[in-house]
A and B are shown apart, each in its own frame.
Chain A
Amino acid sequence: MTVTDTLVPYPEAVERYEPLMGLETHVELGTRTKMFCGCATTFGEEPNSQVCPVCLGLPGSLPVVNRMAIEHAIRIGLALNCEIASWCRFARKNYFYPDMPKNFQISQYDEPLCTDGWLDVTVDGGTVRVGIERVHLEEDTGKSLHVGGATGRIHGADHSLVDYNRAGIPLVEIVTKPITGTGANAPEVARIYVTELRDLLRSLGVSDVRMEEGSLRCDVNTSLSPRGSGVWGTRTETKNVNSLRSVERAVYFEIERQAAVLDAGGRIKQETRHFHEDTGTTTPGRSKEEAQDYRYFPEPDLVPVAPSRDWVEQIRAALPQTPAELRRVRAEQRIAWNVSEADMTALENAGALDRVAETVAAGASPADASKWWLGELARRANDAGIEVADLDITPAQVARIAQLVSTGTLNDRLARDVIDGVLAGHGGPDEVVAARGLAVVSDEDALTAAVDEAIAAHPDVAAKIRDGKVTAAGVLVGAVMKATRGQADGTRVRELILARLA
């Protein structure tokens, strides 16, 4: 049965109604084993080949909590600025469905592991703080194949085939607080929130968060309030939102659809709706005569989880910087170093940002630091087939080399020799300079002698210079550099030549 919904064009809809959203995200954790048993969690294995009495819910089986899953959930909660419960329990959510082996799901009800956090997202140049209501753990269900219907979907299917490999995989559910005040930006805010959340989760290393593979799932709740009324409408829940783009489109469509219903004086039905990729629309799910009563009660087969504050702080201390923080730090660095965006990107791609920062911290100027790391050192890393950060030279050493160049002890050519020496393991920059006698020749007499020799050796060039062809000095400079094995200060040599032949 297809029903074409009346829609109010979006700009009109958001003019007269204020949208309110709630986003529920399920993340499949990348633990090696399932939430309550030791079965492997590898994706794409033969059906029912990664099951045991526990995840099959066989009579007599009992769950045992995977410590790593708790750790990951705490990690996520901390990254979302949540409070971590000092004591909490699992609860049974009771309902019947063939993909749930026990016909109850072990989840958390009124005692979630993490509560009351937030995630800031940048929309339209501004920041929206999305409140996080709760983060809790639960177990995933099996997967059904519906056979006999037209599209492989559930409607019109003749029977179903169930694979329980996925049953019992740890899921973290992240629920936002109601997101208000976004106005016309609502769909975008939703998409950006999910994007930021995904990137954050990826940076934590807790999941591979692929929406296409189902390791990140999103349900979108939408309701409308007539502007100025202060009255919130009934919300609908939209499922089957399988991409970031779909998150945005689902919110967009629901706003248009609900506005039309309300305009016509109708009431929004509290229901679960299904999002359709191909049309960008939502349709009602199966309506139930009786609302579902999950009869939650504390899971008697599991004992309470009481993470010690020490454990929580250990996890917090090891948290990587969030993508947002990294972006902020990068922006600050770029400004401090006065480096172009293109150079920043190049540094980032070369994996050299940290190195540059440390070199600056060791005393080099940002320009020098990025010049050496982006230039000479990046080249050598490339030649050696390794990451620039893996070169056997420290930021402190690079800073020292830059300092030696700026005080005139070394020139660029000599600096490269020093780098050779350091990379070859001959010690720090000063040691290499001393050992190889690489310091710039600054003895004026020695330089003058070398200049005179060069002039004598190239009389025709000298004549040109006397005639005013200053550029020819380059040949003589080259000769002197060669004679001094590159240890002369090229600029000074040039001055001497020109002075001699003036």
Chain B
Amino acid sequence: MELTRMTAAELSAALAASEVSATEVTQAHLDRIAAVDDRVHAFLHVAADSALAQAADVDTRRAAGERLAPLAGVPVAVKDVFTTENMPTTCGSRILAGWHPPYDATITQRLKQAGAIILGKTNMDEFAMGSSTENSAFGPSRNPWDLTKVPGGSSGGSAAAVAAYAAPLAIGTDTGGSIRQPAAVCGIVGTKPTYGGSSRYGVVAFASSLDTPGPFGRTVLDTALLHEAISGHDPMDSTSIDAPVPPVVAAAREADVSGMRIGVVSELSGDGYQPGVLSRFAEAVELLESLGAKVSEVSCPHFGYALPSYYLIAPSEASSNLARFDAMRYGLRVGDDGTRDAEEVMALTREQGFGAEVKRRIILGAYALSSGYYDAYYGKAQQVRTLIIRDFDAAFGQVDVLVSPATPTTAFGLGERADDPMAMYLADLCTIPSDLAGNAAISVPCGLAPEDGLPVGLQVMAPALADDRLYRVAAAAEAALVGRWGQPLLASAKGLTS
């Protein structure tokens, strides 16, 4: 079997058994990137030299008999929002083009310590603001299923890399759905862990109270392996939870949903949802029931206000987080010709360095926080957030997990929503509630929409720190569905065989 078609779990076993070397595995993936990335454009930076050096190091240590972590020698693609000392970190923005951070994110460090091979940095919507990767200053990524379609966003590059077999694993961040939505439209698995379950130190901030780093994989087990490797308390992050990582790998292996109570969120359906998405979702729910789960309908009455609440809270925090990009200490500097003062240089730099969506959100955020408007907008949104948390609490009092489609439609076309911010925001309808509440959620492929043959994602949501339930349900669904399809969903993608 081609090394790039193997799952991370299979690679891990083969590497451990010395059936294959990390160098071979890494080279195979670098070759794959060279073959497809001109079309997919998943990567902003391919770190060939350092990846091969890391691989050589893993091989040496393994040969010396050292016991290595499960992911040692397994390639990973890293969203360009994580700081990496020896590689640029641009966040998909002109304002950080070429910036080399002097420190690694905690998650970058954990990947390195685990011996994972960082292939490079992936494309993203600028500063994680978007649902299609079209807001990247360096051009969009394309969906490997259909190169005229978006791979989702903001972690579109990471999702595309995994879906294109350029990397078995990738990490991204999820603030409003930016892992789950790309995973869904690219036909792969993606998890938003419990907020605080994975460290934000070294993750360039978009919305601090919502940003959650998380894993992508082609299978549920792969995703669990990566989830485990990157999670856990970090004293450098005050919002990091000091609790053991939930047993996600064990749950992915057990994959048993008998007796589990599953709630279908009634509000996450209806107008604006593509029929094919709804039908594939309904089938997936029936499937879970046939596997022994007890399914019921649950109402979360305030979920309808999640989108407006999010689009007040996130831009507000972003407007503040992005103030540091002012041309004084790093990044782009425009207009410093000796005639302008600091404020003018700041304003010119930010005007040229930020894209339209980022500017929209900064201004929106400044509005929501400004005196006179704070109570009605930001303050109110935080109250709605409390109500959504209460909806979840009440729901989880009746069921073990909640389910919904991961996103209302399949991958839309490049350019289709680029000039229509409101239409773009709707992609996050199903994912946003979990970001606001800080609980855990996953998207797992549940089929292709009959209308367009594009992937549909099933979203599972669990209470905070119950991430393992996600993997239990997702793995059960995956096993049953792959059994039904005869092969993994991705294997049926036409756009990828080349």
Partner of A303, one of B235, B238, B342, B374: B238
Interface stretch (choices A98-106, A182-190, A484-492): A98-106
| Candidate in A65, A293, A296 with the most chain B CB atoms within 10 angstroms | A293
Q: Are A297 and B236 in contact (CB under 8 A)?
A: no
Provide the bound-state CA to CA distance between A288 and B23, in Å.
61
Contacts of B207 in A (CB 8 A): 300
Q: Are B323 and A94 in contact (CB under 8 A)?
A: yes
In the complex, besides A53-B102, A300-B317, 17 extra interface pairs with C-beta distance below 8 angstroms are A53-B103, A58-B103, A59-B101, A59-B324, A60-B101, A60-B200, A60-B204, A60-B205, A61-B202, A62-B238, A94-B320, A94-B369, A96-B326, A101-B324, A295-B374, A302-B239, A303-B239
Q: List B360-405 residues whose CB lies under 8 Å from chain A.
A: 366, 369-371, 374, 378
Provide the bound-state CA to CA distance between A64 and B202, in Å.
14
Partner of B91, one of A59, A160, A162, A303: A59
Q: Are A57 and B201 in contact (CB under 8 A)?
A: no
Q: Are B374 and A59 in contact (CB under 8 A)?
A: no
- Show 16 A/B contacts (Cβ-Cβ < 8 Å), sorted by A: A58-B83, A59-B204, A60-B105, A60-B205, A62-B201, A62-B237, A63-B238, A65-B238, A96-B343, A96-B346, A101-B324, A103-B326, A162-B328, A293-B370, A295-B369, A300-B207
Asked whether A56 is an interface residue with its Cβ less than 8 Å from the other chain, the reply is: yes
Binding site secondary structure of chain A: loop
Q: Are B320 and A92 in contact (CB under 8 A)?
A: yes
Q: Who on chain A is nearest to B345 by CB?
A: A98
Q: Are B105 and A300 in contact (CB under 8 A)?
A: no
Binding site secondary structure of chain B: loop
Provide the bound-state CA to CA distance between A57 and B209, in Å.
18
Q: Mark A268-282, 1 if CB is under 8 A from B, else 0.
A: 000000000000000
Q: List B338-362 residues whose CB lies under 8 Å from chain A.
A: 342-343, 346
Give the top 8 A-B pairs by smallest Cβ distance, nearest first. Answer: A103-B323, A300-B208, A295-B369, A300-B209, A59-B204, A60-B202, A60-B83, A60-B204
Asked whether B203 is an interface residue with its Cβ less than 8 Å from the other chain, the reply is: yes
Contacts of A59 in B (CB 8 A): 83, 89, 91, 96, 99, 101, 204-205, 324-325
Provide the bound-state CA to CA distance between A7 and B410, in Å.
75
Query: Interface size on B (CB < 8 Å)?
Result: 44
Contacts of B132 in A (CB 8 A): none
Provide the bound-state CA to CA distance between A104 and B203, in Å.
18
Provide the bound-state CA to CA distance between A92 and B323, in Å.
12
Contacts of B325 in A (CB 8 A): 59
Asked whether B329 is an interface residue with its Cβ less than 8 Å from the other chain, the reply is: yes
Q: List A118-135 residues whose CB lies under 8 Å from chain B.
A: none
Residues on A facing B (Cβ under 8 Å)? 53, 56-65, 92, 94, 96, 98, 101-104, 160, 162, 293, 295-297, 300-303
How near does chain B come to A371, taking the closest CB pair, in angstroms?
59
Provide the bound-state CA to CA distance between A303 and B240, in Å.
10
Contacts of B485 in A (CB 8 A): none
Q: Who on chain B is nearest to A94 by CB?
A: B320
Provide the bound-state CA to CA distance between A65 and B235, in Å.
11
Known: A59-B91, A60-B205, A103-B324. A295 touches B239 (CB 8 A): no
Provide the bound-state CA to CA distance between A32 and B201, in Å.
23
Contacts of B323 in A (CB 8 A): 94, 96, 102-104
Provide the bound-state CA to CA distance between A431 and B323, in Å.
77
How near does chain A come to B129, taking the closest CB pair, in angstroms?
15
